[in-house]
Amino acid sequence: MSKAVYIATMEQGSGKSIVTMGLMRMLLGKVAKVGYFRPIIGDLKEGEFDNHINTVRSHFRLGINYEDSYAFTKSEVLNKIHDGQLDEVLDTIIQKYKKLEEVYDFILVEGTDFSGEGTATELEINTDIAKNLGIPAIIVESGRDKTMAEFVHNLLSAYDLFESKEVKVLSVVGNMIKPENLDWVKEELCNELKGKVIVNVIPMIDLLGNPTVKEVAKSLNAEVICDNIKKLNKQIDDFVIGAMQLRNYLPRLKPNSLIVTPGDRYDIVLGAIQANISNNYPALSGIVLTGGIKPESSILSLIEGMSNKLPMLLVEQNTYEISQIIGDIRPKIYADNREKIMTSIRTFDKYVDGGRLSEALITFETKGITPRMFQYNLLKRAQQERKRIVLPEGNDDRILTAASRLINQNVVDITILGKEESIRKKVNQLGIRFDFDKVKIVDPLNSKYFDDYAGTLYELRKHKNMNLAMARDKMADVSYFGTMMVYKGDADGMVSGAAHATQHTILPALQFIKTKPGVSVVSSIFFMCLEDRVSVFGDCAINPNPTAEQLSEIAISSADSATAFGIDPLVAMLSYSSGVSGIGEDVDKVRKATAIVKEKRPDIMIEGPIQYDAAVDPYIAGNKMPDSVVAGKASVLIFPDLNTGNNTYKAVQRETGTIAIGPMLQGLNKPVNDLSRGCTIDDIFNTVIITAIQAQGL
């Protein structure tokens, strides 16, 4: 049974980070605890951290100490090998690996980067490490700047070397292959390897193959003199030398170009900045000023006052030297470049046979459902049957940023309400990658559906004394318009509330989407992603003081929602008293609600009244309610009123760092979900995903 895998390469710049990020995301959806280990890292300056470790730990929120994530620097290993201390190197690596093995169910081990001197020794030590750890390998090889024959030969040589060292190779990955060569390369490798390993081939991806402004600044050791933090991670697709006069220079600008020009060419600098904000020229990435010439304070003041200024880098070298260096920069993935990270993961998902790899790697049973498993499974479920979700608040920065992530990850189809010109302007100001071809923007007042929607609302509400003029006024409201899109089937679900009160979001849904048959109360749940489990909290957002009958409905709806989302429902009806000892109106209400659930749904495992500690802590449960099948193991916790529920979920979320996904509304005929006005981008992202899953028919 394999508990780890070694990701190896034979050269620098193979792009193995794609495999690392993709595998890590895949494993976190299937294994309770995944560790990350780099036996040997590159040499670092004092105070620096290894970028690979920093990126993986940060993005996936791994609870692993930095010092536990590696064993040696490259120079330390080379010095020890020179002194005949290879055994000491291997012993230390094995010791650190075993320490992680005691804590984690699976460990992703990433090999060296082959930078600088000693690459032949690195190849040898990588195979020795994999062999001594007793784990299989995945070999990644780049096709960049090689003929396909050279590439295939190199990859097969690496495979033979690992096999000769008795290291089982599970998969070979050909990376950075020209799209027209993908089929030939895969067929050639499959023929040569004769089914011994899983063969995967990944094409060249421009976003991953080109550096960002931040990477260029780091490589050039440049001073950032005009800082636009949001754009430092912008991709550079080309760089253009600014030497000719402005009128001849402007037509040569290309999208996402980096301008390289002497620091005293103010005409080029200001012309490029103006071109960047002009609708007649492409958006640029940044400017590099050469010769160590810093613009005068008046020029800098002018630039700093622009709302959409470009990042500007200052270097000492001349223009020719800098252009040579930029051309040789190999891109990397940094922890704060979410776009590159998510592109790597999407690329892995698309081109790597994750099912076969998963089967080969994970041969032990998973235990329960962890928060990462839960979130991974949510994303996958939403992607399996794409739904169209309408976001009414197109003027909110958080909504647009979350929408860009959802679009880029191909999770759902998005409709945004608002004026397209205004939305495009905001997107440009935010500096986010936003594919307008994949999103539908609707201005309610100018929509071709406006009259039809207003007429429908009038017919639905005329018995409440609504006339057509009133219906038209209501339909100008984005909440009414978005909800009507869901009612009419022009959207599968709606998420709103980032800029509106809860009542404003759900009132239209209550008026004409209405509740499901047999349901009299709309309620809500949060999926609380705690450290070691996912719990369902309800109702923490809608009903201030539910009756016993309403509380029983909330419990039944919450249990069914838990089941639908892969959580085994053990329902705890919370109160200030456990069992039969407590008396009082509030505890009696909970006791009555519990009895109603048992009568209506005897299939639901439920306990109540019960205190929170007895519901979730096995030790306390053993003392207070030793005969209960729910106490100490509750996964669905139903609060007696909104005051208790809302404060408890927020306290748990803020004090423990728990991710709270929701609220998800229960009981409506079609999904409409409300956001908190203090919601984060992650909150919006997660709520859209659960809305899409609800729309799949849950």
- Domain at 169, CATH number: 3.40.50.300
Please say whether the beta carbons of 266 and 273 come within 8 A. no
List the single range of 172-181, 233-242, 463-472, 507-516 with lowest mean pLDDT: 233-242
pTM of the entire predicted model: 0.65
The Cα-based distances of 660 to 73, 382, 650, 664 in angstroms read 39, 18, 9, 11
How far apart, in whole angstroms, are the C-alpha atoms of residue 11 and residue 17? 13
**pLDDT tens string 10-43:** 777 778 888 999 999 888 888 778 999 999 988 8
Peptide bond into 663 cis (omega under 30): yes
When pLDDT is cut at 50, 70 and 90, the band that residue 416 belongs to is very high
Structure confidence at residue 278 (pLDDT): 85
CB atoms closer than 10 angstroms to residue 166: 10
> Pick from 459, 494, 513: which residue ends a domain?
513
Nearest to residue 577, comparing CAs of 551, 607, 555, 554? 607
**pLDDT tens string 73-82:** 888 888 888 8
Average pLDDT over the chain reads 86
The identity of residue 71, as a single letter, is A
Say yes or no: 476 and 542 in one domain.
Answer: no
Residue 254 has pLDDT above 90, yes or no: no
How far apart, in whole angstroms, are the C-alpha atoms of residue 592 and residue 599? 11
What average pLDDT does the segment 601-630 reach?
A: 90
Say yes or no: 343 and 441 in one domain.
Answer: no
Q: Sheet containing 439-442: which strands, arranged edge to edge?
A: 439-442, 413-417, 388-391, 493-496, 672-674
Kindly report the CATH number assigned to the domain that includes residue 394. 3.40.50.10950
**Domain assignment of residue 673, yes or no:** no
Say yes or no: 47 and 23 in one domain.
Answer: yes
Share of the chain above pLDDT 90, in %: 32
Kindly report the CATH number assigned to the domain that includes residue 300. 3.40.1390.20
Please say whether the beta carbons of 642 and 543 come within 8 A. yes
What H or E segment, with its residue span, contains residue 207? helix 206-209
As given in the structure block, the two tokens for residue 352 are 């790597």
Say yes or no: 224 and 88 in one domain.
Answer: no
**Domain assignment of residue 675, yes or no:** no
Please say whether the beta carbons of 327 and 219 come within 8 A. no
CB atoms closer than 10 angstroms to residue 650: 15
Residue whose token pair is 């993005």: 59
Maximum alpha-carbon separation in the chain: 92
Question: What is the number of domains present in the chain?
Answer: 4
**319: buried, middle or exposed (CB in 10 Å: 19+, 13-18, 0-12)?**
buried
**493: buried, middle or exposed (CB in 10 Å: 19+, 13-18, 0-12)?**
buried
How far apart, in whole angstroms, are the C-alpha atoms of residue 245 and residue 341? 39
Residue 666 has pLDDT above 60, yes or no: yes
Nearest to residue 88, comparing CAs of 99, 75, 72, 102? 72
Structure confidence at residue 219 (pLDDT): 80
**pLDDT tens string 510-544:** 899 988 888 889 999 999 988 778 899 989 988 99
What average pLDDT does the segment 648-655 reach?
A: 90
The identity of residue 650, as a single letter, is K
Structure confidence at residue 695 (pLDDT): 92
- Alpha carbons within 13 angstroms on the beta-carbon side of residue 313 total 27
The Cα-based distances of 377 to 29, 229, 635, 657, 683 in angstroms read 6, 33, 18, 21, 17
- 3-state DSSP assignment of residue 338: helix
Say yes or no: 591 and 618 in one domain.
Answer: yes
Residue with the bigger pLDDT between 609 and 204: it is 609
**Domain assignment of residue 302, yes or no:** yes
**pLDDT tens string 460-478:** 998 988 899 999 999 999 9
Structure confidence at residue 228 (pLDDT): 61
**Domain assignment of residue 367, yes or no:** no
Structure confidence at residue 121 (pLDDT): 67
- Alpha carbons within 13 angstroms on the beta-carbon side of residue 122 total 24
**pLDDT tens string 42-70:** 888 777 888 889 989 988 888 888 999 99
338-351 vs 16-28: helix crossing angle, rounded to 10: 80
Say yes or no: 543 and 608 in one domain.
Answer: yes
- 3-state DSSP assignment of residue 536: strand
Residue 571 has pLDDT above 90, yes or no: yes
How far apart, in whole angstroms, are the C-alpha atoms of residue 154 and residue 177? 14
Say yes or no: 189 and 56 in one domain.
Answer: yes
When pLDDT is cut at 50, 70 and 90, the band that residue 363 belongs to is low
Structure confidence at residue 399 (pLDDT): 92
Nearest to residue 673, comparing CAs of 502, 481, 474? 502
Kindly report the CATH number assigned to the domain that includes residue 595. 3.40.50.10750
Say yes or no: 414 and 355 in one domain.
Answer: no
When pLDDT is cut at 50, 70 and 90, the band that residue 367 belongs to is very low
How far apart, in whole angstroms, are the C-alpha atoms of residue 50 and residue 537? 39
**pLDDT tens string 434-445:** 888 889 999 999
**546: buried, middle or exposed (CB in 10 Å: 19+, 13-18, 0-12)?**
buried
When pLDDT is cut at 50, 70 and 90, the band that residue 366 belongs to is very low
Please say whether the beta carbons of 212 and 431 come within 8 A. no
182-193 vs 148-164: helix crossing angle, rounded to 10: 30
How far apart, in whole angstroms, are the C-alpha atoms of residue 183 and residue 186? 5
**Domain assignment of residue 692, yes or no:** no
**Domain assignment of residue 39, yes or no:** yes
**Domain assignment of residue 253, yes or no:** yes
Residue 505 has pLDDT above 90, yes or no: no
How far apart, in whole angstroms, are the C-alpha atoms of residue 619 and residue 610? 14
**504: buried, middle or exposed (CB in 10 Å: 19+, 13-18, 0-12)?**
middle
When pLDDT is cut at 50, 70 and 90, the band that residue 229 belongs to is low
> Which one-letter DSSP state was computed for residue 515?
B
Residue with the bigger pLDDT between 261 and 1: it is 261
**Domain assignment of residue 291, yes or no:** yes
Structure confidence at residue 77 (pLDDT): 87
Say yes or no: 500 and 619 in one domain.
Answer: no
The whole domain housing 178 covers 4-206+337-361
Residue 693 has pLDDT above 90, yes or no: yes
- 3-state DSSP assignment of residue 243: coil
CB atoms closer than 10 angstroms to residue 541: 24
Under 8 Å CB-to-CB from 677, ≥6 apart: which residues?
497, 498, 499, 500, 501
**pLDDT tens string 585-604:** 889 999 999 999 999 999 99
Nearest to residue 216, comparing CAs of 314, 308, 296, 294? 314
As given in the structure block, the two tokens for residue 118 are 């000693």
**pLDDT tens string 114-154:** 665 545 667 788 888 888 888 888 999 888 878 888 888 88
What H or E segment, with its residue span, contains residue 481? helix 478-488
CB atoms closer than 10 angstroms to residue 12: 14
Say yes or no: 46 and 165 in one domain.
Answer: yes
Please say whether the beta carbons of 169 and 197 come within 8 A. yes
Please say whether the beta carbons of 92 and 71 come within 8 A. yes
The Cα-based distances of 295 to 219, 312, 323, 691 in angstroms read 22, 11, 20, 51
Say yes or no: 457 and 562 in one domain.
Answer: no
Peptide bond into 492 cis (omega under 30): no
b or e along 572-582 (b: 16 or more beta carbons within 10 Å of the residue's beta carbon)? bbbbebbbeeb
Say yes or no: 68 and 98 in one domain.
Answer: yes
The Cα-based distances of 510 to 504, 516, 524 in angstroms read 11, 11, 14
b or e along 93-116 (b: 16 or more beta carbons within 10 Å of the residue's beta carbon)? bbebbeebbeebbbbbbbbbbbee
**pLDDT tens string 295-327:** 888 877 877 777 667 888 888 888 888 887 777
> Which one-letter DSSP state was computed for residue 317?
S
Structure confidence at residue 364 (pLDDT): 32
> Which one-letter DSSP state was computed for residue 180?
G
